[in-house]
Structure 1
């Protein structure tokens, strides 16, 4: 999301894959732009264990930037590249229903996904369109919540029975030494992930990504 050229290249690849018959769902965030808008209004972005601390003021900017500005910008870009993007957020057709995080006293309006209803996605995918989803959602009472994009991606992938899950990020990936960009871990199993988490080798925005990976690998092992 930080480089317009890389963003355009990635979206162009999605359009090509869609044209050859793959059915794709794009889930996006927009942290840097949220940070920029908060700073413009004199609010310092805050994070806790890789998750954005979201008070009422921050929630307004999260929804405005993600569901309004960035989502529609990405849809426009996909359309300009020859695809057909359909912009959604978790509120649309109750795609995502959330409940408050167990750490709501610290995190504020950060939601945990309670239910996924992917039925709105099926006709969109069947018609060859690309659903482009941002992870703003609401609880049963209609209160808006910020949902971690990696978490939402994993839950949506499971709900639609995705064959592949690809995470795009602006960091190298899981590092054996988080201070050494050259220590990229190219392959890992559930035991390795557990060890890295226990030893505190994962930090910042990689925490929810590694937790997502751990959860789904653990689920696969249980199924096997």
Structure 2
């Protein structure tokens, strides 16, 4: 599709109210799924985040990396085991998780942002005691799978004050200096709450919350907190969508302005959600 100069100008003008509204505001982006796996999508997400920074927003990136972890474990001859969707993480697996998330994946994202004109710095939850964690459930069964106890946002605030884009690997640390593998959605939600962010954006591999999972035209564009229980009862919110909605609810209840579940497979998904009237996913709001 080729746009005329006038059409391009109209697109920029449409974005102007949103640029004004979110100037100086903080947006936490959970980056994962197909948007990380496919080179063309990855490039467009990098451009989106850098553009957000250039128009005066403060993006914070929290990333996953499950497929990369599985691939590395396989190369090292270690098996991947899951219980209720969580990766069983013994000490050897945790070393690989930390190497892949805090090393390979994190630095690739940092390099991608910098290559597109941004200034990004990669950290994990261990840096600056950012993410205090504790084990989830049965330690003997799950190992070093963690949940967030506390966010100490000082290091993020310092990076933003110096005009950097923080890129955060979801690794937490406990009082014994043990590392924990934490779900990136949970970390993004907790950081959004601690930073009093205006938006939390979760990139997924689905269009958003659908009334009929087989029909994209049944997208629920706005999900109110008061409607969540009914959607859970009737099965609209189920499976992998349930924990994502929970993360959004926790963030909204903690004071985050709005949360969004959007399709990371759509090119420039972040810009379309934030800077256009229609948006592309499901926005979760208090009322």
TM-score (norm 1): 0.88
Q: 2:157 aligns with which of 107, 116, 122?
A: 122
Larger deviation, residues 150-159 vs 119-128: 119-128
Tell me the alpha carbon deviations over residues 170-193 of structure 1, each in whole angstroms, 9 at most, x when there is no partner. Answer: 233323344555543322222432
In 2: Cα distance, 1:177 partner to 1:203 partner: 13
Tell me the alpha carbon deviations over residues 143-176 of structure 1, each in whole angstroms, 9 at most, x when there is no partner. Answer: 0100110000011011111111111122333233
SS at match of 1:65: helix
Tell me the alpha carbon deviations over residues 122-157 of structure 1, each in whole angstroms, 9 at most, x when there is no partner. Answer: 121012110000111110100010011000001101
* Residues 194 and 214 in structure 1, CA contact (< 8 A), matched pair in contact too: no
SS at match of 2:59: coil
* Residues 98 and 139 in structure 1, CA contact (< 8 A), matched pair in contact too: yes
Q: 1:171 aligns with which of 191, 197, 206?
A: 206
**Equivalent residue for 1:86?**
121
**Equivalent residue for 2:239?**
203
Structure 1 residue runs of 5 or longer lacking an equivalent are none
In 2 relative to 1, CA 85–219 (structure 1 residues): closer, same or farther, beyond 3 Å? closer
**Equivalent residue for 1:156?**
191
Tell me the alpha carbon deviations over residues 32-54 of structure 1, each in whole angstroms, 9 at most, x when there is no partner. Answer: 11121223334443333333222
Matched, 1:24 2:59: yes
Tell me the alpha carbon deviations over residues 164-223 of structure 1, each in whole angstroms, 9 at most, x when there is no partner. Answer: 11111223332334455554332222243223434554213x332121123234456xx9
Bigger proportion of residues as strand: 2
Tell me the alpha carbon deviations over residues 38-84 of structure 1, each in whole angstroms, 9 at most, x when there is no partner. Answer: 23334443333333222223212211110000101111111111111
Structure 2 residue runs of 5 or longer lacking an equivalent are 1-35, 256-285
* Residues 176 and 185 in structure 1, CA contact (< 8 A), matched pair in contact too: yes
* Residues 135 and 146 in structure 2, CA contact (< 8 A), matched pair in contact too: yes
Larger deviation, residues 22-31 vs 180-189: 180-189
In 2: Cα distance, 1:82 partner to 1:217 partner: 32
TM-score (norm 2): 0.70
**Equivalent residue for 2:229?**
194
In 2: Cα distance, 1:17 partner to 1:69 partner: 24
What's the CA shift for 1:31?
Answer: 1.2
Tell which structure's C-alpha radius of gyration is larger.
2
Q: How do 1:62-101 and structure 2 match up within 5 A?
A: 62-101=97-136
* Residues 192 and 251 in structure 2, CA contact (< 8 A), matched pair in contact too: no
In 2 relative to 1, CA 95–218 (structure 1 residues): closer, same or farther, beyond 3 Å? closer
* Residues 189 and 250 in structure 2, CA contact (< 8 A), matched pair in contact too: no
In 2 relative to 1, CA 114–69 (structure 1 residues): closer, same or farther, beyond 3 Å? same
In 2: Cα distance, 1:47 partner to 1:185 partner: 30
Provide the aligned length of Structure 1 versus Structure 2.
Answer: 221
What's the CA shift for 1:108?
Answer: 2.1
Tell me the alpha carbon deviations over residues 63-108 of structure 1, each in whole angstroms, 9 at most, x when there is no partner. Answer: 1110000101111111111111010100001001101113434432
In 1: Cα distance, 2:74 partner to 2:242 partner: 24
